[in-house]
Amino acid sequence: MGQRLKVKTRWRKNSDFSRSVDNKGTFPPGMSAASPLGVVAVHLGAGYHSVRETPVYARACRAALREGVVRLRAGCSAREAACAAVAVLENDPCTNAGTGSNLTLGGDVECDAAVMDGQTRLFGAVGAVSSVRNPVLAAQALLEQQQAGPMTLGRVPPAVLVGRGAERWAQQQGIPGVDRKKLVTEKSAANYRRYMERLAAAEQRKRQKGRPDSLKRGATSQQGQGAGKRLCIGKGPQSQGVGNFLQGTTKKGELGQGQGDGNVLQETTKDVVHVLVQGQGDGNILQGATEEGGSFQGGGDGNFFCQNLGRKRGRNLLNNEIMSDVTGEACGSSGNGILNGAGRFDQEELSLVNQEEQPLVDQSESSVQDRSDADIRLDTVGAVAMDMHGNVSAAVSSGGLALKQPGRLGHAAMYGCGCWAVQESPLSVACSTTGCGEHIMQTMLAKECAEFILQGDETNASLDRALKSKFLHSPFLRNVDKKVGGAILLRCEEVGGESEPAVELLWGHTADSMCVGFMSTRHDRPQVRMSCLPAGQRSGQAVVTEGCFVR
């Protein structure tokens, strides 16, 4: 056995869901208490994390931390270590970054990423990229190009690139590209279909509110002899037959034909996402469907359609229910969704409509209690690091909001919002944030949190004040009921007479939970913790802050 490693912690148990970690370990071969200290910390986003999926998040954290520490032990910079850790998270489909990210309204992955170097104060970012496997590596390359100085003819190197321009530039730099379809996982595609169904239902209810009763009853029913048919959004061909319905999936296959009830489309033969609206019968309503590379019969003034009303045995969306089979039984699963990006769901079905129109995620206390195995993870993953020379850096990456508008730029690519790093004597800070991008952009949360830590003596209290005054009670968010976000910070302070800085890791969040982890070059294994709001506190309306010293 090697020397015992002690990590002083001062995190507290917030609720029954919080898990403490084992803080004892042995020094790895070749390392000792006298070895230079390097540290990497990561987060997987703030939100609501199911107990069932916690081991999955922990494995992702550990893999990212190990990769970052390998880089530090090899003498790499804090910037390289932070980006390497984030790249591992981008490759893991359990996160909302890179592979498996939330899909846009058009069904594509568009990612944002950034990195900031504390020593040079340089910042690099890419936004809305769809064919770059690791957006954070493109952001790192942008930063390094700035570090090299002016380009030919004295041109100023770009700090931020977006869209196709960013993708082409990354390709020119030799950064691995990827077919954008390969970034879409089976789970993210299934979630997309569910969200689109809910969106279609919400759009229909919105239109119906201003219509005469006769229009609500008759609408635009036109064609076909089918009845009792289920309306779905998915990938696949149109078909006829009584009782046909679509079982949404992303695989390839064929649609069963026939006149009997219950013909099921198990798989698809098209790559385009479209709405299945063939064979309308009594009370079927088509409010306007859209498809790339196809056509529909019927029409309207909207972009989405609502399912048919069917016969008496079928229930209809105007009454806020959906048929789960050809007999019209209503499905009873809850209608959970995603607010800002990083969520995956364990439930097989989602209720598409409620009695009142709801956002894609309801983070009220009652809804959390009803979804013990559901996942609602918000937006950005990130990392902060200190190398063996005391330099600090921060990096972030995000797939963004579910059903976001194509081309939307999130906080992960915005200066002062997704990450911040400042290296000074005697105190340096690196910060990475997560949460609702629009809210974080309005508050410049990463920069504000870092400045509070730089100016304050009581670190936990400083982070608590920052999250409350600059986020929860920010005048820029006065009209927002729930402000969901979080941050991790690495605080490194030079101590007189000591050969290395005192390093403290801090994190805080307003969401139900936030998965964080850290590892130093002297650790033989990573440390991971699921931080949670105390019992009785409401997500988006309360703050919890925790931290530990790393020695």
Catalytic residues: 380
Contact, 31 vs 521, CB < 8 A? yes
Q: In whole angstroms, give the CA distance from residue 424 to residue 224.
A: 73
Give CA separation, 327 vs 21, 125, 261, in Å: 50, 52, 9
Residue 499 backbone class (left: φ over 0; alpha: ψ -120 to 50; beta: rest)? alpha
Work out the angle between the directed axes of helices 459-467 and 445-455 (0-180°, nearest 10). Answer: 150
H helices present in 12-116, as ranges: 54-73, 78-91
Distance CA 410, CA 398 (A): 8
For residue 499, what are its two tokens? Answer: 């050969």
Residue whose C-alpha is closest to residue 484's, from 388, 411, 397, 386: 411
Q: If we measure between CA atoms, which residue out of 323, 149, 435, 119 comes closest to residue 444?
A: 435
Can you read off the two tokens belonging to residue 385?
A: 């690091």
For residue 129, what are the β-bridge partners?
111
CA 89, CA 136: separation in Å to the nearest integer? 10
Question: Within 10 A of 383 (CB to CB), how many other CB atoms are there?
Answer: 36
- Give me the residue label for tokens 């949460």: 435
Evaluate whether 367 touches 482 at the Cβ level (below 8 Å): no
The SS3 assignment for 537 reads coil
Q: What angle do CA 529, 535, 539 make, to 5 degrees?
A: 80
Q: Record the tokens describing residue 33, joined without a space.
A: 């208490």
536 to each of 51, 243, 512, how far by Cα in Å?
18, 47, 11
Phi and psi of 517, rounded to 5°? Answer: -160, 160
Distances (CA, A) of 336 to 200, 350, 517: 16, 7, 27
Residue type at position 464: D
